[in-house]
Structure 1
């Protein structure tokens, strides 16, 4: 779809009578107007709209040549030489006709632009009311002259007697972003699977540094701005989740050491999920290359191989895996702790806990893996999202089951022996100190 939008935009560029663009909708409704990178080229030294337009066109042309992008993948709605009509008000005539200058400007604003009136509720929704002249009555230059304003004597005076319309050219749209004159820019990669959002932002920054002249700067907006500002949060979520689980288990077991037997299994299950993603990406790439080598597909028209990257859905799957890994580990640690309290040895308690909880862990784990298989083999609309999360959770759960059964008792035994030796050493020092006393 992104490649098709780029091809249409490139073809729309041949239209001389107007501007047309085809772009993908934003991933989150309300954050920007299009998918990909959204930014503004700012004129920070007030060089003028012509220079701003030249810098914007140079930037869109340069980023369209970058890998992953293409002709028509970047565009801007800003133009510096748009035909316009300047309304020149004869203030002397305004006074002679008994008109208020504000009424003249308000008439132009309301009839030709619009004016907000109020809101009303209907069918459970709220609608805004705007006052504006109907389209057939503002299509021609002569229509402006026929608009009328009421003077102080209550008479209707046509605007044509006090306003002269002069043809000119000027910038459109006139936008200020963070206080600077700015031109909007949108750039969407033709292949979003090959160019991630972080790569697109990096390419945009590098292109701006190379192309934009002194006094011009690139400022991101919309969803791109939110991704840049909130990007550090993704590196804090997983550690905070681990810390939360650790604190809850420490309160449950009334121990700072025993929760480590549960927490230490989390990195192994995450590595199993990420390793499976890496292997699948490599297999997809090799299979795509083999098909090209055997002549089964045309590399110019074939769809690129599916690449699973570290996106938000992968991260959601990893958070789910953390909970599942801790759940299986808690079953073993809880039983081993109870058996040790009954007088069993540390190693004997760990082995017996694994034997008792083997069947429940296997049953729940395999049932979960079977439940997410439809996500692994998903197809149709939105299959990319389901496939990414399904692969992450499925292979991560297999790693949770395998590593959890073998390494959780090992972690439990090692931690309990270390704690036991430390307590025995401390008790020995205490008895020695009491004997000397």
Structure 2
């Protein structure tokens, strides 16, 4: 969320950022004028309220002087003016609240402004490749897609999942269920044992303010799943929650409404959780398979840092996510997202795209973003340097370390064999009780 004071004091970077995000110059200027107009209205109400209070205080003193001088007529006139001003004060307070609420609504709907290093572009076609790791494998057969492999093994069942829950769900069985669990455990072990992340088992249900804090609300409400407690509950509103779209939400909100010491930073959290997304804008896209589902598993990485170290932390987080794919011996590339393809809260984002032989395409498997103080301002998350009186907003970062379901897809397609079996990557075999292949159910 943006700070209206910073916008007022230095509007040019704000307008430039909106234009780079795809806004026209005219629309960006109109939005700036609207924000400043709302802030002017709020400030005018505050100034008027202060003036009223000062006048009431002065009149009260004059009432005392009039009474002391036994000038009852003047005292009564002054008291009538005090009463009128007293009635005016709530009106001004309401006007301030209304202007502030409208200003906050407008600010909450504006995306973060990109860093200068982010390439300007309209969509994914303008993303810039940063580097690649490994190479595409050669197969002596035509590689299959993951759902063909899984269904051929008899261990991936979309039909039964549809009977249970509808489209965009899957039932994994036997060794594929174990393999997905192995992937998640492997990722957690690497991130906690080698990369310094603290494992967290967070709630999967969160309240509005947590979703607002990481900018899922209000703009992306249609992409979320909301749940309400049973009908018998007396206060239905108290039972209203959201299923997390990613563990970024609870992990980042661990520091909401708090003041940390600089010595506590950086804080690094990781979690392996189910995630839930409505995929509201994905009609017709990836309708087969596990690429785009309403429920999926992901290992999330979250960092809380100082402004001075967030750029370095972004590179560190990317390296941590890459290490997972390297050990799984998967071919991938890293791209820097352009301004038109970045997430709402991001200042800069790296996507890791894994190569899927069956699809003959790169697909996103991790997205690592630095958000600056955009989320921290919404959460009121601050820190204080040693000896400093003033607090400062922390910087937040988040990334997939990685998406477990998509990692399973990549393993199936990359490590598939001509007979329909799948070789288990060596790094996962300790988690699979030494098993080396996944074969069809007899």
**Structure holding more strand per residue:** 2
Q: State which structure, 1 or 2, has the greater radius of gyration over its C-alpha atoms.
A: 1
Shared fold (TM-score, shorter chain, > 0.5)? no
**Structure holding more helix per residue:** 1
TM, length-normalised to structure 2: 0.22
Greater length-normalized contact order (CA 8 Å, ≥ 6 residues apart): 2
